[in-house]
Structure 1
């Protein structure tokens, strides 16, 4: 089978699944799972999974990620988890919507932009896109986040979502928020709010 970047695959011999994020040498591909780690694996050791379906033996859950019920159009977040005293911050995209998201994230260096992460994210899923030390928060980059929202279901038309996000030290003085899809509380900002509200949201969440 001819795979491409973004394809959702499952390991043949292990209970691991994720999206293809790179092609390495000698028939090896990189598969990034929900934890955000890229795992090298032979292309012969994975199989395509259409629609992000789960096997019947996966913890007894036979539900596909295609959601049933009300179509959720809002709820795309950047979240930062971790404890400052422990040193490591983890950055997430959280998708509480019914859309499948095509994500591209870059950072600016010397006036030019460099891509640092790309993925396809299913509805009601999260993906880790960056790690950094709390001790260097003042040097954390400004992320340019671009997201295309896709669904086979009937929904309102949405333009490409594009936001520049930077977290300043003062942002970390704000209280954390609980999101259902994350195991721990996080500093959170919502990306898909109305334009007129974005400045106020960033003032609250990011200290701007």
Structure 2
């Protein structure tokens, strides 16, 4: 199939266009338009619209000449996978190989999809990034195992490290941390390091660690007067979380903020939980009804929050 996830296409027989967000099989694809609905369609019924390129797909043309880098400035570490959502089709993520070293990298990516399939092979220049794979977020549990092999190359008088081999079957927990600003690409995403940084032992810090006391003072930050419990405000990776995990995170954040409000002797605090199916609101009210430091609680200002927030008055 000539199409890839994230490609921008136009329907042949209808006045519709959108981004490819699913490869169903060799003949069928899923296309998502501005209404955010995915439509299954024959690949033969759409045509590629040129001009749109997802983040990370552009690579400077190779001149065949390696840029000269002074030996003192030569960087030997810094190879990552940067995972970013497509700028237009949020249901699609792109895996980018980030080369923050001074080596040219000869890179291959193979997956175990339907046996073994070569997905990418190419040369990635120093201090550059290139998209090597795309995937549908909803299919995370079905993503194939990745096998990345990397050879280092330079014309300079510097010894190249041994070839790097990385094999991983990604799971939702691999994207449980917050997004970071990706090197080279300078945009938010999940960063996975492929080459380990050299371990540097600081003798002074090691010595000091032997004399640290077992107990350290815990500092509890003062919470805001209004605490938003919507999961997209608490975690960057909420697309990968199941409903039970989302509720657990929301309740834990609620409990932490409530305890902090008690410690700082706030007179009241508002928790914004939304309306939804009412389960989260019910769980919060169950905790509040038994809390010894809660004087009373009620729906917060309806003109501002509707029925999606609870005001808590503390003793």
Aligned-residue offset at 1:165: 2.4
Q: Which whole-Å CA distance do the structure 2 matches of 1:154 and 1:188 have between them? A: 31
Helix, strand or coil at the partner of 1:86: coil
Q: Which whole-Å CA distance do the structure 1 matches of 2:62 and 2:105 have between them? A: 18
Unaligned runs of 5+ in 2: 1-54, 200-315
Residue 163 of structure 2: aligned partner: 160
Residue 65 of structure 2: aligned partner: 51
Q: Which whole-Å CA distance do the structure 1 matches of 2:58 and 2:182 have between them? A: 21
Structure exhibiting the larger radius of gyration computed from Cα positions: 2
Residue 92 of structure 1: aligned partner: 96
- Residues 97/164 of structure 1: CA separation in 2 closer, same or farther (3 Å cut): same
The 5 Å alignment of 1:80-159 reads: 80-82=83-85, 86-110=90-114, 112-159=115-162
Aligned-residue offset at 1:49: 2.4
For 1:77-120, what per-residue CA distance to the aligned partner results, in whole angstroms no more than 9, with x for missing partners?
0110117x92110100000000000001100135x422110010
Whose RCO is larger (CA < 8 A, sep 6+)?
1
Which structure has more strand as a fraction of its residues? 1
Q: Which whole-Å CA distance do the structure 2 matches of 1:178 and 1:194 have between them? A: 18
Moved over 6 A (4+): none
Q: Do 1:79 and 1:91's aligned partners in 2 also have CA atoms closer than 8 Å?
A: yes
TM-score by length of 2: 0.41
TM-score by length of 1: 0.60
Q: Do 2:148 and 2:166's aligned partners in 1 also have CA atoms closer than 8 Å?
A: yes
Which structure has more helix as a fraction of its residues? 2
Q: Which whole-Å CA distance do the structure 1 matches of 2:178 and 2:152 have between them? A: 29
Q: How many residues align?
A: 142
- Residues 48/194 of structure 1: CA separation in 2 closer, same or farther (3 Å cut): closer
